[in-house]
Amino acid sequence: MRDRRPTTIGRNNRIFQFCSLGAVPQDKKYAGEPCELIIGDGNTVREFCTFNIGTPGGGGVTRVGDDNWIMAYVHLAHDCRVGSHTIFANNAQLAGHVEVGDWVILGGFTVVHQFVRLGAHSMTAMCSLLFADVPPFVMTQGQPARARSMNFEGLRRRGFSSERIAAVKAMHKALFREGLTLEQAAERIAALPQRFPEAAADAALMRDFLVATPRPWHRALTRPCAATPSKGRPCTARSPGGRRGVG
């Protein structure tokens, strides 16, 4: 049945005119194998969106979760996996094998390179160009994109308590502000539930993302250097581990 009907669409979806859902992937290696597109429930998909089916090399499935708000001209290439409660503004473009976590917001004209992962609650500014993974809660902007801050306002709107937001601020400091190596930052984040018990799941979300990241991620943050805090210049000092941590 799936070979004949490669697209499965759930309940209560609103799909507007001129969309192409479930067409063959834009992959020259694809040779007609039985692959599919699966769309969950309660999604809004506006005009001229294109969602391709998966490929054998990527698991065979392109998947969209529930309650996503996807605006016009969005492209989801083969084998993308989109979570739930996301917002994709007009012309957001995902290359193949991209993973998008729950509650992610993509600004208009955001372009995401193949195999990139965006952690839950992350956000991109308009025209961001992503070549590397974006950890949970992080806001990025630029071409190529850099981490700018955390999505604090979005978290407040989703009902995060002040304690959970304080924990996210502590993650921000550990990852981007204190010159720690990745291993040191991960240890600092793993210990956060001792100070912020309500944020245990948030700390685990960040820690698991960092551990599972097989490719570079957006640790390049435009941040004030210690020597020039008032000028707000990008800091390019090396981390204690010897790697260039930012810039």
* Enzyme catalytic residues: 78-79, 96
Listed residue (152, 147, 170, 168) closest to 216, CA to CA:
147
- Tell me the C-alpha distance between 23 and 207, whole Å: 36
133 near 118, Cβ under 8 Å? yes
Q: Which residues pair with 142 in a beta bridge?
A: 145
- Tell me the C-alpha distance between 163 and 199, whole Å: 7
18-43 burial, b for 16+ CB within 10 Å, e for fewer? ebebbeebebeebeeeebbbbbbebb
Residue type, 168: V
